Amino acid sequence: MENSQCKICRRAGAKLFLKGERCITPKCAMVTKPYTPGALGKSGGKRKGRRGSSEYGTQLRDKQVVKFSYGLRERQFVNYVKEASKKKGVASLELVKLLESRLDNVVYRLGFTSNRASSRQLVSHGHITINGRRNNIPSYRVKTGDLIGIRGGSVGKGPFEGLADRWQKFESPTWLTLDKEKKEAIVTGDAVSDDTRFNFNSIIELYSR
């Protein structure tokens, strides 16, 4: 039976990497079933293509891609959009900062895990520290100067086994300085995203209607 996470990607029409490394293999549902769930005819005949979309439909899809990628509920996502829109800067860039600076996302961006869901579990289970103190709040907002590390009792165990091997070709985002030897990182600037799948301007326009 197909995993619900795979169906989310198929509905969004984009790889959201919700299952981590599996998403870059030929087994990915976006490779084996590159059409929306239910797009097959009742008789199992020819697959229907994706329908054209209105501007609103496109904006709605852009929202779903971002919301599901960051693993947020609708109310959480709306609150982030509202907060970003109230700030003095460019709303779309402010939204990026708010989403990217979440602790669970930072753990993912540092390569501790291959997807945000796993990163959220690491944080919730108390494996991650901020400035030397354990922090189990996935939505915690990191700031410039914060030191993100692994709790002493968790280093080299469970989800962190083989971390050095996974990091061999890994490069952290420019706003995070990762020390692979110490297995810790410092937030050195404002959070940004270079993920081309995300259209934050479209999302702001959607909620400005």
Residues of the chain with pLDDT below 70 are 1-53
Buried/exposed 189-207: b ≥16 CB within 10 Å, e otherwise = eebebeeeebbbebbbbbb
At 191 the pLDDT is: 95
Domain 55-90+195-209: CATH superfamily, name plus number: Ribosomal protein S4/S9, N-terminal domain (1.10.1050.10)
The tens digit of pLDDT for each residue in 79-120 reads 999 999 999 999 999 999 999 999 999 999 999 999 999 999
Domain spans of the chain? 1-37, 55-90+195-209, 102-187
Q: Which amino acid is at 42?
A: K
Residues with Cβ within 8 Å of residue 55, at least 6 apart in sequence: none
Q: Give CA–CA dist 10/62, Å, rounded.
A: 13
What is the predicted pLDDT for the residue at 200? 97
**What pLDDT shows up at residue 83?**
98
pLDDT attached to residue 49: 47
CATH number for the 102-187 domain, one of 2.40.50.140, 3.10.290.10, 2.60.320.10, 3.40.50.720? Answer: 3.10.290.10
> What does the pLDDT read at residue 48?
47
Residue 75 Cα distances to 29, 49, 72, 123, 155, angstroms: 28, 32, 8, 21, 35
CA angle (184, 186, 188) in 5-degree steps: 160
pTM: predicted TM-score of the whole model, two decimal places: 0.77
Q: Distance of CA 56 to CAs 3, 78, 168, Å?
A: 28, 17, 42
